A and B are shown apart, each in its own frame.
Chain A
Amino acid sequence: MENIEKKMREEARRLLEEKRVDVLIGYEAGTLPLTATPCFITAPEEAERLVWNRFCNHNLAKYVHDVISQHRNSQKRVKPEDRKKKVVGVVARGCTTRSIVIHLQERQYGRDEVVIIGVPCTGYADRRKVSQALGGEAVLEGALEGDVIRAVTEGGEKKIAVADVLADNCRTCRFNNPIISDVMAGEAAPPMNPEAEYDEVTAFENLPIEERWAYFVKEMGKCIRCYACRQACPSCYCPVCFVEQSRPAWVGISDDPSDTQVFQIMRLYHMVGRCVDCGSCVSVCPMGVDLRKFLKKLDKDAFELFQNRAGSSLEDLPPLSRHRENDNEDFIYHPEIGGHNT
């Protein structure tokens, strides 16, 4: 991991020195121990600020989109012949590159507007699991020693193995190495455990329908509709989100549980073929709603029905932006047989 960090800084410095990028988005050490935070650097000497460790959990593709779209908006006031392009460099692991692939497929920006420093990834630590392992105590001091997190709290010093606090989405990650990259910082990382990817979904599918609904109601009951999941999601970039539209007002603003449920159903459904399982929404959720259980189902169905894995290749378009004549029709109702084919 130290080697990757060194190589990443070198590449970042070189890109900025050669002026191949206007801004580079990466991670820097957070203000609290055992955290990392996104950072934007524009000068080569700032490359030393960059870090790469187990706490880099953000999906930086979100910021790539933000920076480019903001820049484009600002260019609207400039005469067409004087308009400038802004090239964004980004430190990206597997899921971040998948989000970038989705942006490219959805024509949000051009491939020439983004320079990707690919980093092989072996998963990040889930802050909730770390906090749980520490009994909820505040971390006064902390450091990573290889694959062990050393944390000092008021109760004393504790050592936690990274493997025990790895985020759920990282454990079963299929694409931990970048899908696309311009430069790579380090060798490809060993695969995680993608065979177990849908175990949780399959188990949930097999529950009785009333239990599934009860679980959904329980989880959505926690939601306070702060929309942090939407803010953190790289696939949520609509200029005006449906929850804020008032004509028609898609989602009610009352405290009726169904309003929250409808909001969540629609936000989740918007992720069909667009969720890369980066865990951003889960990690930012202040209430700990189990969003992944529902998002993973969409991923599973998109693969079963349309053989698509979101953002896994530039050529493979998102499942809802194309169709085939012989797509699965098992769900269609036929009155002659009084039901569906299946």
Chain B
Amino acid sequence: MSENEAWEPKIVAIVCNWCTYAGADLAGISRIQYPPNVRIIRTPCTGRINPFYIVKALQQGADGVLVSGCHPGECHYLTGNLSARRKFAMLKRFLNYLGLEADRTIFTWVSASEGERFANVIRGVTEKVRKLGPATKLVKSL
């Protein structure tokens, strides 16, 4: 990458198939505009997401990682997002304790009917990460 003017935040969004992925679809179908900085990875459920995915994404050069799934109580698999919530509560605090900025790892809920919310989340997250600048910590120099 040449200099900061060319820099655009790179965000990895790991989302669940049943709610947030469908929410992203709805945002698309409804032609809601949101920043193109996000790369979406579809997983069956947030409970499926190994916290390692997040650390690994940060190491491989993602400037931010967003994880989003069904609202609590609405999980397709009943409680996948509840166990994910515990994992991520610990992970977020831990990464911040080590010295990684809290805004680089973001967790939220977006349901299948919330296209507008999905676009808002992406806008918000992109802005947060843009403010932080390019990731330097934990990034593997390739």
Chain A residues engaging chain B, CB cutoff 8 angstroms: 204-205, 209-216, 242, 250, 252, 254, 256, 258-259, 261-262, 265-266, 268-269, 272, 294, 297-298, 301-302, 305-306, 319-320, 322-325, 327-329, 331-336, 338
Let me know if B92 is at the binding interface, CB within 8 A: yes
For B118, give the chain A residue with the smallest CB separation.
Answer: A335
A-B contact pairs, 6 of them (CB 8 A): A262-B56, A319-B86, A322-B83, A325-B72, A327-B82, A331-B93
Please provide the 9 A-B residue pairs with the shortest distance between their CB atoms, ordered closest to farther.
A213-B99, A335-B120, A212-B99, A323-B82, A333-B108, A258-B140, A335-B124, A216-B98, A333-B106
Contact at B97–A212, with CB atoms within 8 Å?
Answer: yes
Chain B residues engaging chain A, CB cutoff 8 angstroms: 51-52, 55-56, 59, 72-73, 79, 82-83, 85-101, 106-109, 117, 120-121, 123-125, 137-141
Bound form: Cα–Cα A229–B100 in Å: 24
Contact at A327–B140, with CB atoms within 8 Å?
Answer: no
Interface class of chain B by DSSP: helix
Interface class of chain A by DSSP: helix
Contact at A214–B97, with CB atoms within 8 Å?
Answer: no
For B72, give the chain A residue with the smallest CB separation.
Answer: A325
A322 proximity list for chain B (CB < 8 A): 83
Bound form: Cα–Cα A328–B85 in Å: 8
Contact at B124–A333, with CB atoms within 8 Å?
Answer: yes
Contact at B97–A252, with CB atoms within 8 Å?
Answer: no
On whether A332 and B108 interact (CB within 8 A), knowing A216-B99, A258-B140, A265-B98, the answer reads yes
B94 proximity list for chain A (CB < 8 A): 265, 268-269, 294, 297-298, 301
> How near does chain B come to A140, taking the closest CB pair, in angstroms?
42
B98 proximity list for chain A (CB < 8 A): 212-213, 216, 265, 294
The interface centre, meaning the residue of B79, B90, B109, B123 with most chain A CB atoms within 10 A of its CB, is B90
> How near does chain B come to A87, taking the closest CB pair, in angstroms?
34
Contact of B93 among A204, A301, A334 (CB under 8 A): A301
Contact of B137 among A204, A213, A252, A272 (CB under 8 A): A213
> How near does chain A come to B131, taking the closest CB pair, in angstroms?
12
